[in-house]
A and B are shown apart, each in its own frame.
Chain A
Amino acid sequence: MWNYSEKVKEHFFSPRNAKPVEQANATGDVGSIACGDALSLTLKVNPSNETIEDAGFQTFGCGSAIASSSALTEMIIGRTLDEALKLTNQDIADYLDGLPPEKMHCSVMGMEALHAAIADYRGEELEDDHEEGELICKCFAIDDVMIKKVVQQNGLSSLEDVIHYTKAGGACATCHEKIEWVLSECLQESAKAPELVSELPAVDPDQPLSIVAKVRLVEQALEKIRPQLQADGGDVQLNDIDDDMVFVTLTGACSGCGFSHATLAMIEDAVSKVLGQAVTVYPTALGSSAAASEQEAS
C-alpha cells in the first residue's frame, strides 16, 4: 500500500522544522480539512535581503504531506524569496525521490503554502483558484469541478477531448468510465447548447497530404494541446515530419516530467487524428530532427 521512498519515510519519521517559527513575519495557511490535508507554514524573512532565515511547518495530513512539508522547509531556508518562488512542486517531489502519483497533491500543497506565505509577507492578495470536487483522475489530481469547467468552456464532447484538455485519464486510464459520467452530466445540462463545428478540415484518407498541409494540421493539433502544457509551465515544439514519424521537443516543465510519456501519447493521439493516419511521435532534443539524429548516429 505505502509505496513511499526511503527519503519520504525518513522525513516523515524524523521531520525537520516541525514547529511554528518564533518571530515569524510570514505565514501561509493552506489546505482543506474536508480533504484531510492542512498546512501552516511560517517563515522568518530578513527584510534587508529578503532571505528566508528560518522556516517551520505544522501539518495535518498523511505521511507524504508531513514529508513534503519537512522537505519544503529544508529547501527554502537560506534562499531569497525570489529563489524560493522558482521552486515547483515537482522539485519537492524530486527532493523526496518521488511521490506516489496519488500523493502528488501533497507537494502541491507545499507549494501553495509557500506562495501564500510569500504573498503574506509582501502584502499581496493570493488568487484563490482552488476548486473542490470529487477526485476523478488520481494520476493528475483532477476533480469533477475542473473537468466540468473545461468541458463547458470548450464545448467538449468526447472522452478523448477531456483527456487532451485536462490530462484527466491521460495516464492509467482507470477513471475513463468516471470521466464519461461527468461528461454525460455536462452534456445533459447543456443539451440545448449549439452544436460544435469541427475546426479541423476533413481528411480524405485516399488523398495524400502535401508536407505543408501536414505541418499545418499538426501545428493546429499542437496548438490545441499547448494551453494545458503551458498551464503546467511546459510547451511543445514540432521539429520534423517524416512519413508516419513526427518529431517533437518537449520544453520547460514538460522536459523530464515523470508524465512525459503520457503527454507524448496524448500528442500522438491528437496528431494521428488530424492526419487521419496512425503516426508515432518521437521526442527529440531541441533543434534536432530526424535527419540530424541520423547523422549523429552514423
Chain B
Amino acid sequence: MSEAKPVYLDNNATTQVAVPVLEAMLPFISEYYGNPSSIHGFGAPVAAALEKAREQVQQFLGAEHSTEIVFTSCATEASNTAILSALEAYPDRKEIITSTVEHPATLDLCKQLERKGYTVHWIGVNNKGRLDMLAFQEALSERVAVISLMWANNETGSLFPIRGLAEQAKEYDVLFHCDAVQVAGKMPIQLSGSGIDMLSISGHKFHGPKGVGALYLRRGLKYRPLFRGGHQERGRRAGTENVAGIVGLGKAAELAQQAIEQDTARIRLLRDRLEMGLLARVPFSVVTGNPQQRVPNTSNVAFEYVEGESILLMLNQYGIAASSGSACTSGSLEPSHVMKAMDVPYTAAHGAIRFSLSRYTTDEDIDRVLEVLPEIISRLRLMSPYWDAAKGEPKEQQFQPQYA
C-alpha cells in the first residue's frame, strides 16, 4: 500500500457510511433499545423512528404513501420477495420476464424458478447493453406473472428505459418489479404516477449502512409475504426490525436526495475526465455499455490483452480500489455475464475495470488514477502473450494456445 491517501472508486460495490447517518443510528444501538412492537414507553420512540425513516424513504422514492415502503434486510431479499410474491399472488400465470444482465439476486432466483417449471423469458441486450425491445414486447402476454428488470446495470451503469417498459406491462396487467439498487442516490426516482408496482433499493449503495434495504409496494397491489411470523411491517415482512439500520437508511435517503441536486454534475464531470483521460492515455481501451444512457458515477473501461485481477492487484499497490468483471476475482472462470451478454470479445472482457465514483470522490483521486494506471497496463501488456512488446501493439498473428 502506498503512503498516499487511498482512492476509493468502488462505490457500486458499497459506499462509505455518511457521518450524519452513523450519528442518527447510534442512539438506536444504545439507549433506544425497545422493541418497536411494544406498547410501553421503551417501544414508542423506536416505533416513531421507524415511521420517520419510512417517510424519508417515501420522499426519496417519490412514493405517494409512506405505507408503500417495506423495510427488508437487503435488496436481494426485496427482489426475491417481489418476484415470489407475484408468482404466488397470480398462480395461473407461469411466466416471468427478465434480462440476461440482471444482478444475481434476480438472475439466480429466475434460474431456480425455471428449474421448478416456470417459463422465463430472458431478454438479451445489444453490444451497448440496450434491452432488446422487440423481444420484450413479444414476451409480454397475460401468461406473465411478473417482469423484473434493473434500472441501471451494476457493472456498466447502463440504464434501461424503465418507465416506458412499466407502461407497456400495464397493457397485460403484468406486475412490474424494478431493481433500482444502482440508481438510488444517483438519479431522482419518482414512483407516484409511474407504472412501477414494486421496486428494490439497498441502503449501503448510497452511504447508508449494510444489512438494510427497502421494497416499494404500490398501494392496492396483490401481495404475498416471503417471511411469515409477526405482524411487523403490517404483516408484509415478519421479523423484528433492524431499527438502527432502518434509521440509517432513512437518514441516508434524506441526504442522498439533497446530494443528487448538488453533486450530480460534479460527479459526472469527474467520471468523464477519468474516462476520457484513460482512453487518451491507453491505446486499445474501450468503454463498455451505453455511454449515452447511464448513471453519472460509473465508467467501465476494458483494457484489451490484459486481465482484470492483475490490474486490480497492481492498482491496490497504489492504494486505488476499483473492481472488475473479470472471472478471476470471483473465482469462476468465465468473464462476467454482463460482458458476455454484450458480446464483448474475451480479450477485452477479462480486462474490464469498473470505476464507480461517489460524492466523496475528489479531483486528486482522478489525477492519481490517470497517473498510475497507464503504466500498469503497459507493464502487464509486456507480459501478455497477446501483445507484441517490440511493436507496442497486439501481435499480428493472434496468439492461439492449445485447448482454446
Seen from chain A, the residues whose Cβ lies within 8 Å of a Cβ on chain B are: 1-2, 12-13, 15, 18, 29-40, 57-63, 65-66, 102-103, 105, 112, 116, 126, 128, 130, 132, 134-135, 138, 181
Besides A32-B404, A36-B326, 5 more A-B contacts (Cβ < 8 Å) are: A29-B385, A30-B402, A30-B403, A35-B333, A65-B307
Most B Cβ at <10 Å: residue of A35, A58, A62, A63:
A62
With a cutoff of 8 Å between Cβ atoms, the chain A residues found around residue B115 in the complex are: 181
How far apart are the CA atoms of A105 and B399 in the complex, in Å?
20
B331 within 8 A of A: yes
Partner-contacting stretch, out of B34-42, B170-178, B182-190, B309-317: B309-317
**A12 and B385 contacting across the interface, CB-CB below 8 Å:** no
**Minimum distance in angstroms from B115 CB to a CB of chain A:** 7
Can you give 7 A-B contacts (C-beta < 8 A)?
A2-B313, A31-B401, A33-B350, A35-B333, A60-B306, A61-B328, A126-B402
**A60 and B305 contacting across the interface, CB-CB below 8 Å:** yes
**B327 and A36 contacting across the interface, CB-CB below 8 Å:** yes
Seen from chain B, the residues whose Cβ lies within 8 Å of a Cβ on chain A are: 115, 305-310, 313-314, 317, 326-329, 331-335, 346-347, 350, 382-387, 399-404
Smallest CB gap from A15: residue in B: B383
How far apart are the CA atoms of A128 and B401 in the complex, in Å?
12
How far apart are the CA atoms of A197 and B158 in the complex, in Å?
55
With a cutoff of 8 Å between Cβ atoms, the chain A residues found around residue B403 in the complex are: 30-32, 112, 128, 130, 132
Most B Cβ at <10 Å: residue of A13, A29, A112, A134:
A29
With a cutoff of 8 Å between Cβ atoms, the chain A residues found around residue B400 in the complex are: 29
**A33 and B404 contacting across the interface, CB-CB below 8 Å:** yes
Smallest CB gap from B317: residue in A: A13
How far apart are the CA atoms of A31 and B401 in the complex, in Å?
6
Known: A35-B327, A40-B401, A128-B403. A58 touches B384 (CB 8 A): yes
Known: A33-B346, A35-B327, A40-B399. A62 touches B309 (CB 8 A): yes
How far apart are the CA atoms of A132 and B346 in the complex, in Å?
15
**B328 and A135 contacting across the interface, CB-CB below 8 Å:** no
How far apart are the CA atoms of A102 and B330 in the complex, in Å?
9
Most A Cβ at <10 Å: residue of B310, B387, B402, B403:
B403
Smallest CB gap from A57: residue in B: B383
With a cutoff of 8 Å between Cβ atoms, the chain A residues found around residue B305 in the complex are: 60
Main secondary structure of the interface of A (DSSP, over half): mixed
With a cutoff of 8 Å between Cβ atoms, the chain B residues found around residue A135 in the complex are: 332-334
**A34 and B334 contacting across the interface, CB-CB below 8 Å:** yes
Smallest CB gap from B384: residue in A: A60
How far apart are the CA atoms of A62 and B327 in the complex, in Å?
9
How far apart are the CA atoms of A18 and B381 in the complex, in Å?
11
**B313 and A63 contacting across the interface, CB-CB below 8 Å:** yes
With a cutoff of 8 Å between Cβ atoms, the chain B residues found around residue A15 in the complex are: 383
The answer, among A1, A35, A57, A116, for a CB contact under 8 Å with B334, is A35
Most B Cβ at <10 Å: residue of A59, A60, A130:
A60
The answer, among A1, A32, A132, A138, for a CB contact under 8 Å with B329, is A1
With a cutoff of 8 Å between Cβ atoms, the chain A residues found around residue B386 in the complex are: 38, 60
With a cutoff of 8 Å between Cβ atoms, the chain B residues found around residue A134 in the complex are: 334
With a cutoff of 8 Å between Cβ atoms, the chain A residues found around residue B328 in the complex are: 36-37, 61-63, 65, 103
Most B Cβ at <10 Å: residue of A15, A18, A58, A112:
A58
How far apart are the CA atoms of A1 and B386 in the complex, in Å?
27
With a cutoff of 8 Å between Cβ atoms, the chain B residues found around residue A138 in the complex are: 331-332
How far apart are the CA atoms of A227 and B335 in the complex, in Å?
33
Please provide the 7 A-B residue pairs with the shortest distance between their CB atoms, ordered closest to farther: A62-B328, A62-B309, A102-B331, A130-B403, A58-B385, A40-B385, A35-B333
How far apart are the CA atoms of A62 and B404 in the complex, in Å?
17
How far apart are the CA atoms of A1 and B322 in the complex, in Å?
13
How far apart are the CA atoms of A58 and B335 in the complex, in Å?
21
With a cutoff of 8 Å between Cβ atoms, the chain B residues found around residue A126 in the complex are: 402
Smallest CB gap from B313: residue in A: A63
With a cutoff of 8 Å between Cβ atoms, the chain A residues found around residue B313 in the complex are: 2, 12, 62-63
With a cutoff of 8 Å between Cβ atoms, the chain A residues found around residue B383 in the complex are: 15, 18, 57-59, 66
**B346 and A59 contacting across the interface, CB-CB below 8 Å:** no
How far apart are the CA atoms of A66 and B335 in the complex, in Å?
18
**Minimum distance in angstroms from B259 CB to a CB of chain A:** 29
How far apart are the CA atoms of A128 and B326 in the complex, in Å?
26
**Minimum distance in angstroms from B319 CB to a CB of chain A:** 15
How far apart are the CA atoms of A126 and B328 in the complex, in Å?
27
With a cutoff of 8 Å between Cβ atoms, the chain A residues found around residue B334 in the complex are: 34-36, 134-135
Smallest CB gap from A9: residue in B: B313
With a cutoff of 8 Å between Cβ atoms, the chain A residues found around residue B399 in the complex are: 29, 38, 40
**Minimum distance in angstroms from A274 CB to a CB of chain B:** 33
With a cutoff of 8 Å between Cβ atoms, the chain A residues found around residue B350 in the complex are: 33, 36, 60
The answer, among A31, A57, A61, for a CB contact under 8 Å with B310, is A61
Smallest CB gap from A33: residue in B: B346
Known: A2-B313, A36-B328, A36-B333. A62 touches B402 (CB 8 A): no
